[in-house]
């Protein structure tokens, strides 16, 4: 696993209760892609917290929709982090392409060709650009999360989006993104400079192939588990770790904000594991430091 810079770890404690207590506000949003798809999503903004909230853009797995992110989104919202859950092209409500219905089927390869899965990274860049213009969101604190197809898509989109942090659950489906997809994803991650956490099971061959291709990129850490768990299956035992990861990088690790000062301990590194995240300020329920100027 690669090393990521975390804030100086504190003694490991049990994960604290989320910071925010009031109900967030959800708003439906739509986007028009360059090739005519109308994408539907839900922007959820916490009712309390900073004037401009960090935001995580959520990209689901094949044959799913944005509702599947609820276990993680609820934890992020409770911590004061906004979420923008998207129905990817051809999924959920995002099946209108210039007036024609274009939806995925059970056949991944056929769906990839009909819907254009290789355009999903561009879709995510479009959504991120929109998010950075919203008054309720902090343009410097944008992150990506994806599962399976969405997991590979967020890796491939990283270079254009330039997020602070990326969560990829079982990134897979690289065959839908062209002959040099694995190399392109690695290059994209390298350009982004994002702190990246990949969940992968040892016996999940497709996801393991992608994880192997990007593990040498600076800033990438992998959590490798026995068995065949894939995508959302990791929520059962690890959703809190995922929420703490985003809390650490979006709320506490202010030095990672572009243009921000480097911390005194910038030379220190920690491999990202559930234990190191449990010892981080985000896991202790500590109030984050003041936001950078302009918030």
Give me the residues of the chain with pLDDT under 70, please: 1-21, 253-271, 274, 287, 289-295
4 has which bridge partners?
Answer: 270
pLDDT at residue 269, rounded to an integer: 44
85 has which bridge partners?
Answer: 42, 58
**Among 257, 272, 269, 286, residue whose Cα is nearest residue 138:** 257
Q: Which residues contact 207 (CB under 8 A, 6 or more apart)?
A: 148, 151, 170, 171, 172, 200, 201, 230
CA distance 160 to 120: 12
- Provide the whole-model pTM: 0.86
pLDDT at residue 137, rounded to an integer: 97
pLDDT at residue 53, rounded to an integer: 96
Contact 281, 175 (CB under 8 A): no
CA distance 156 to 147: 13
Q: Which residues contact 150 (CB under 8 A, 6 or more apart)?
A: 58, 59, 60, 61, 88, 120
pLDDT at residue 123, rounded to an integer: 98
Contact 291, 50 (CB under 8 A): yes
Read off the pLDDT of residues 133-185 as tens digits, 9 standing for 90 and up: 999 999 999 999 999 999 999 999 999 999 999 999 999 999 999 999 999 99
Residue 16, number of CB atoms within 10 A of its CB: 12
- Torsion angle of C-alpha atoms 33, 57, 45, 52, degrees rounded to 10: -100
Token duo for residue 9:
């770890």
204 CB-contact burial (10 Å; exposed 0-12 / middle 13-18 / buried 19+): buried
What are phi and psi for residue 118, nearest 5 degrees? -70, -10
């Amino acid at each position: 696993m690669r090393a990521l810079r975390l804030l100086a770890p504190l003694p490991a404690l049990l994960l604290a209760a989320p910071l925010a207590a009031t109900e967030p506000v959800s708003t439906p949003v739509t986007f028009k892609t360059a090739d005519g798809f109308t994408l539907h999503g839900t922007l959820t903004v916490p009712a309390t917290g900073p004037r401009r909230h960090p935001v995580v853009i959520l990209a689901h797995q094949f044959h799913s929709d944005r509702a599947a992110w609820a276990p993680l989104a609820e934890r992020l919202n409770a911590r004061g982090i906004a979420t923008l859950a998207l129905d990817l092209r051809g999924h959920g409500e995002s099946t209108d392409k210039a007036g024609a219905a274009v939806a995925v089927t059970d056949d991944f390869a056929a769906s990839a060709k009909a819907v254009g899965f290789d355009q999903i990274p561009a879709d995510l860049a479009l959504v991120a650009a929109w998010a950075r213009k919203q008054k309720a969101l902090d343009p410097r604190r944008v992150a990506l999360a994806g599962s399976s197809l969405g997991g590979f898509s967020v890796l491939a989109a990283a270079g254009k989006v330039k997020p602070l942090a990326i969560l990829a659950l079982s990134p897979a489906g690289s065959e839908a993104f062209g002959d040099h997809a694995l190399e392109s994803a690695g290059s994209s991650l390298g350009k982004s400079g994002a702190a990246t956490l990949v969940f992968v099971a040892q016996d999940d061959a497709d996801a393991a192939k992608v994880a192997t291709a990007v593990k040498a990129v600076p800033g990438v850490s992998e959590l490798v588990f026995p068995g065949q768990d894939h995508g959302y299956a990791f929520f059962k035992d690890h959703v809190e770790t995922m929420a703490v990861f985003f809390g650490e990088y979006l709320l506490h690790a202010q030095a990672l904000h572009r243009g921000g000062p480097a911390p005194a301990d910038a030379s220190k590194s920690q491999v990202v594991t559930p234990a190191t995240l449990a010892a981080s300020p985000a896991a202790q329920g500590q109030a984050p430091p003041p936001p950078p100027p302009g918030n």
